[in-house]
A = this chain, B = another copy of it.
């Protein structure tokens, strides 16, 4: 555990508000969002400016103190949890929560790292714009964390992940120097794209302190449909049809297995299936327009769905008649994780494969998992249009002791699903990152060329190994 003398050095930099040492105040930040990783830290450092972050990082380099950057602490892979031995300090960006500027003309918001996503949503809305990335943790997740993990969500199909929305970045590099890159230049070919290197680096190459983020027009009209289909292959055909007809205006395209929907209808009060026919698979489509000029998204979606029904791609379909009904459609999708938890223990995988291979992957891998691990049931749901689903393997019926089941079979199931992903040319982390949880699996599955490059970049930026230690980069013994 880091001692008082060292903490005193940081307190001298930051003043009394800048350092938290009361164990009760620190405790909530030592465990990850899902409660699976637990760490220790003698203090949380809370800078209020980029200059203070630079001073912290410089002093940490001088004293050889590892730093674990933290925003809303909503990592799904233990990416913001400090090491268990108390050898690191937490560097919280939560006090750096100013929206420095908001320009609707330029479609730009300059936000400090600690701005909470839902606060940015509201601020953009007030000036007639929208920040188009959204996810379940929006009330806690911060801009810095969302950038450091290249967060995704349900709006990626049209607007991309965080990587596509970051137009400029300010960061403190591991030597304490400040990288000023907040000018949002649409074209800039002055060498390697340092901005894109820091996006998704999970705090291992430096500390993001602020970003220039792209805003998009507010939604003027939207249409939301629920469509019953026979298979993921038909869902993909429906995606192609809607993309061809509606182009960029397709903002959401989510696939849901009927068993998943069944769990929602069983466990979440007040829910019902939007279509009369119960089909093996379901698709939720959202089409958005930024203006009110005809034809409306509803008319366009209706025409496309009529063709899909005629062609036999779709079995049944309903378009929400108003915003309230649209919200009930989305609620079914958003309740899936909660319903799955209520259903019983499950292992959850955040994976991606090329979009064209996704239908076969969903069917074949689920069947193979059920064969290989008798008694389990497997299915998936999620962002078909992004080639990214959440693939779940549920414990055999009657299992109530989730931890015991995971201890017994978790490792084998994990390897089984990841091997299937690798065989399909996919990624074992589509949107959650690597953190601590997937580090060893990355080491096992990544090519030597990729692993070598990751380690070379890490060593070049952070030769002392002080930036978010033991995250993302596989340990030497891990591959």
Pick from B149, B180, B187: contact of A156, CB under 8 Å: B187
Q: This chain: how many copies in the complex? A: 2
Among A31-39, A394-402, A440-448, the stretch that binds chain B is A440-448
Query: Closest CB of chain B to A355's CB: distance in Å?
Result: 6
Query: Could you tell me if A179 and B457 are in contact, using CB atoms closer than 8 angstroms?
Result: no
Query: Could you tell me if B449 and A177 are in contact, using CB atoms closer than 8 angstroms?
Result: yes
Inside 8 A of A200's CB, which chain B residues have their CB?
Answer: 189, 191-193
Inside 8 A of A164's CB, which chain B residues have their CB?
Answer: 164
Query: Could you tell me if B194 and A193 are in contact, using CB atoms closer than 8 angstroms?
Result: no
Inside 8 A of A180's CB, which chain B residues have their CB?
Answer: 447, 449
Inside 8 A of A194's CB, which chain B residues have their CB?
Answer: 450, 453-454
Given contacts A178-B449, A192-B457, A450-B179, whether A430 and B187 have CB atoms under 8 Å apart is yes
Pick from B103, B449, B460: contact of A456, CB under 8 Å: B460
Which applies to chain A's interface (DSSP): helix, strand, loop or mixed? loop
Across the interface, name the chain B residue whose C-beta is closest to A150. Answer: B189
Query: Closest CB of chain B to A150's CB: distance in Å?
Result: 5
A392–B242 Cα gap in the complex (Å)? 46
Chain A positions 389 through 431: 1 when the CB is less than 8 Å from some CB of chain B, otherwise 0 = 0000000000000000000000000000000000001111111
Inside 8 A of A355's CB, which chain B residues have their CB?
Answer: 106, 186
Query: Could you tell me if A427 and B190 are in contact, using CB atoms closer than 8 angstroms?
Result: yes
Inside 8 A of A184's CB, which chain B residues have their CB?
Answer: 354
Inside 8 A of A426's CB, which chain B residues have their CB?
Answer: 183, 185
Query: Could you tell me if B187 and A356 are in contact, using CB atoms closer than 8 angstroms?
Result: no
Chain A: residues with Cβ within 8 Å of the partner, total of 81
Inside 8 A of A383's CB, which chain B residues have their CB?
Answer: 187
Inside 8 A of A453's CB, which chain B residues have their CB?
Answer: 173, 179, 192, 194, 461
A244–B107 Cα gap in the complex (Å)? 11
Query: Could you tell me if A193 and B199 are in contact, using CB atoms closer than 8 angstroms?
Result: yes
A205–B449 Cα gap in the complex (Å)? 13
Pick from B150, B173, B293, B356: contact of A452, CB under 8 Å: B173
Query: Closest CB of chain B to A401's CB: distance in Å?
Result: 31
Which A450-476 residues sit within 8 Å CB-CB of chain B?
450, 452-454, 456-457, 459-461, 472-473
13 contacts between A and B (CB under 8 A): A106-B356, A150-B193, A156-B186, A163-B193, A173-B453, A183-B353, A188-B429, A189-B200, A189-B431, A189-B434, A190-B446, A247-B290, A456-B461
- Beyond A152-B187, A185-B354, 9 additional pairs, beta carbon < 8 A: A106-B355, A163-B193, A187-B352, A188-B352, A190-B428, A190-B446, A193-B197, A217-B244, A293-B295
Q: What 6 pairs across the A-B complex have the smallest Cβ distances?
A: A460-B460, A177-B449, A183-B425, A196-B196, A456-B460, A188-B427
